[in-house]
Structure 1
Amino acid sequence: MDVLSDVITVMRTGRPRSALAGWQAPWAQEFAAVPGSAGFQIVLRGPCWLLRPAADPLPLAVGDVVFRPHGAGHILADDPATRPVAPACHPGDPRASDGYVAVTAPDTVTLCGAYELGTDRAHPLLAGLPDLIHLPRPAELRGTVDLLAAEMERPRLGTDAIVPALLDTLLLHILRTWLDRSETGWAAAVNEPATAAALEAMHREPARPWTVATLAARAGLSRAPFARRFAERTGQPPLTYLTWWRMVTAARLLRESDAPLSVVAARVGYTSEFAFATAFKRRHGVAPGRYRTGYSEIQ
């Protein structure tokens, strides 16, 4: 898979949740912080405001998308001066159930949702995102938002399967739209051809015995300029990132398959099971066999 798809596949856990909510003025709802999650708010009808501590009130219009990649709390309100109700396990919290909060003749309707993320395998692409991503009326998301809202408002046969798929699609669209519009950090890494080529190579073939020289050749640069550019874009040297990605991939294989440790080791580039176990324990703090056993016990 490509880098962004890999990032989501590795980090996503549990089942994403979403809900439609209708509001009548005056209204204000506090949404509690949910550590280990990412959440969004989309305005479907009527304007509203997003309020955060130590930040100016943010006016939101119909079609606006707000993404909180680190699960921070916030308030939605019809007016910054309206007093919010106490925070609760809101509809978009991954601990809640999907649903539609019906209000007669609502002034504002929002679509909210949340995703559970594995913080033990947090990719630097997501870890480096700002606390708030505001996408004013992104045309790229319109189709997915309309489909999701329709399924939430009028559940039918297949809705239980369609909604999670649309939520995953929406998450990818949000991140891709932000990456397309940003020019710093990991956005620069995945949009810059040389760095992107090296990242794609490592993600597609983690078992290959990559060196800085072979990655530089894949990127179309000489060794030193490539290493410098990769580190500037991603914040770490290429082989450091490769080792990290191999260990994250190995952890996923241990969680999701019963393949022998020797097979897992080979699939992430280790011919020696001992060398693999040493590298895995250095990264995850536990031996691969114990990691698999511990994960199985909590399922």
Structure 2
Amino acid sequence: MDLVSEVVRTVRVGKPGSRVIRQSDSQGVRFPPFDGIGFHVVLRGTCWLISEDEEPAPLKPGDVVLITSGAAHGLSHVPCMLKDLSPVVTSPVPRKPGPFGFEFLCGVYHLERGRTPQYLRALPDLITVSPDYDRLPQMRALIDLLSTDASEAYMGTAATLPALLDLILVHTLRQWHEQYGSAEWSRTDDPAIAAVLREIHKNPQQQWTVDRLSEVAGLPRTVFARRFTAGVGQPPMSYLISWRLSLGARLLRETDATLATIAREVGYSTEFAFSGAFTREYGVSPGRFRRTPTTTYISSTTNRPNPQAPSEELPQSS
């Protein structure tokens, strides 16, 4: 099962955003908890990743911090306590030119009502990856493109932003998974459970029951339910409902299909049944969810090289 693809497909229904932040005060910034997934890329200077439970971790230019499920965290000039950092200010007003301690690129998908995928909630809250830019020049190019779009109000940014976020998330998760993921996600790679997940994802409209899913797994019903819950983090039917509604949310955002058509595609007999389940899960009706714009926040802060900036910069590909 391609877990990375499943993660990106699921978070794509969220509201994308990106900005470049230059940190110029004497300490750093704190990011509050949020529903969703995000990342920071250190562009220039050095800093420390600050969390509530772990020791401060040093970051250098090019390092990527993945916030898998919206945990509170901070970036600081020096090691410190998270509570000692000032909350980040997301004002669109550009900062005045001048010296800064470090500069970083932010990307995020804000999700409604805590719909962070179970796969992400099973990972560490904060993941640090140091990409090999010589081996992965495409990662360098993606970061350049996103930082440019996040720095200027270019035409078409609303279209390019989700694509760039998706690609950076894919490359970051892929590299982390290559290094550590086999241990962290080993339970989800259970062949029997992976076969069930493939069927649920491929055919959500089927009238699945625990008995039918256990037949797909080739396991007794009780054994299947226990292994599925242990590997995925949810009972089979809870996961099925969550996946159907997540797919429904994607179709609402990405297509003009009628509510009745979407309901049938995701396994509900009527649009009223789908609407009721969707409203319970997302807190808004499908119609209102579709009408709500996926607004993006693009910072007007520039990331053009500053003659007074630190010499440490994101490594350039050869």
Per the TM superposition, whether the score is higher than 0.5 is: yes
Q: What is the TM-score of this pair, normalised by structure 2?
A: 0.69
| Aligned match of 2:131 | 138
Q: Matched residue of 2:195: which SS?
A: helix
Deviation at 1:216, TM superposition (A): 4.3
Deviation at 1:17, TM superposition (A): 0.6
- Asked if 1:226 is matched to 2:227, the reply is no
Name whichever of 79-88 and 192-201 sits farther off: 79-88
- 1:178-189 to 2 correspondence within 5 Å? 178-180=176-178, 181-182=180-181, 187-189=185-187
- 1:81-96 to 2 correspondence within 5 Å? 86-90=86-90
| Aligned match of 1:36 | 35
Q: Go from structure 1 to structure 2 and tell me whether the alpha carbon gap of 1:195 and 1:179 turns closer, same or farther (over 3 Å shift).
A: farther
- Asked if 1:112 is matched to 2:106, the reply is yes
Q: Give the partner amino acid of 2:47.
A: C
Does the CA-based 8 Å contact 1:21-1:102 persist in structure 2?
no
Q: Which has the higher contact order (CA 8 A, sep 6+)?
A: 2
Question: Deviation string for 1:111-147 (max 9, x for gaps)?
Answer: 3333322335332223333322223x23389434411
Deviation at 1:217, TM superposition (A): 5.1
Q: Go from structure 1 to structure 2 and tell me whether the alpha carbon gap of 1:56 and 1:138 turns closer, same or farther (over 3 Å shift).
A: same
Does the CA-based 8 Å contact 2:36-2:116 persist in structure 1?
no
| Aligned match of 1:281 | 276
Deviation at 1:169, TM superposition (A): 0.8
Deviation at 1:50, TM superposition (A): 1.7
| Aligned match of 1:47 | 46
Distance in 1 of aligned mates of 2:167 and 2:26: 30
Distance in 1 of aligned mates of 2:96 and 2:216: 52
Q: CA RMSD in A?
A: 4.1
Distance in 2 of aligned mates of 1:11 and 1:144: 22
| Aligned match of 1:60 | 59
Question: Deviation string for 1:53-107 (max 9, x for gaps)?
Answer: 45422222343321223334433233226997743324xxxx859x999656x66
Distance in 2 of aligned mates of 1:51 and 1:252: 34
User: Which runs of 5 or more residues in structure 2 are unaligned?
Assistant: 294-318
Q: Go from structure 1 to structure 2 and tell me whether the alpha carbon gap of 1:280 and 1:4 turns closer, same or farther (over 3 Å shift).
A: farther
- 1:1-299 to 2 correspondence within 5 Å? 4-12=4-12, 13-19=14-20, 21=22, 27-33=26-32, 35-80=34-79, 86-90=86-90, 108-119=102-113, 121-135=115-129, 137-139=130-132, 142-151=136-145, 160=157, 162-180=160-178, 181-182=180-181, 187-212=185-210, 214-216=212-214, 218-219=216-217, 221-224=218-221, 225-270=223-268, 272-273=269-270, 277-278=272-273, 281-282=276-277, 284-285=279-280, 291-296=285-290, 298-299=292-293
Q: Give the partner amino acid of 1:129.
A: L
Does the CA-based 8 Å contact 2:39-2:107 persist in structure 1?
yes
Distance in 2 of aligned mates of 1:75 and 1:287: 29
Q: Go from structure 1 to structure 2 and tell me whether the alpha carbon gap of 1:61 and 1:204 turns closer, same or farther (over 3 Å shift).
A: same
Question: Deviation string for 1:31-71 (max 9, x for gaps)?
Answer: 33152343322234443212234542222234332122333
Deviation at 1:206, TM superposition (A): 0.8
Deviation at 1:175, TM superposition (A): 3.0
Q: Give the partner amino acid of 1:223.
A: P
Q: Go from structure 1 to structure 2 and tell me whether the alpha carbon gap of 1:164 and 1:19 turns closer, same or farther (over 3 Å shift).
A: farther
Q: Matched residue of 1:139: which SS?
A: coil
Does the CA-based 8 Å contact 1:39-1:113 persist in structure 2?
yes
Q: What is the TM-score of this pair, normalised by structure 1?
A: 0.73
Does the CA-based 8 Å contact 1:144-1:166 persist in structure 2?
no
Distance in 2 of aligned mates of 1:248 and 1:82: 37
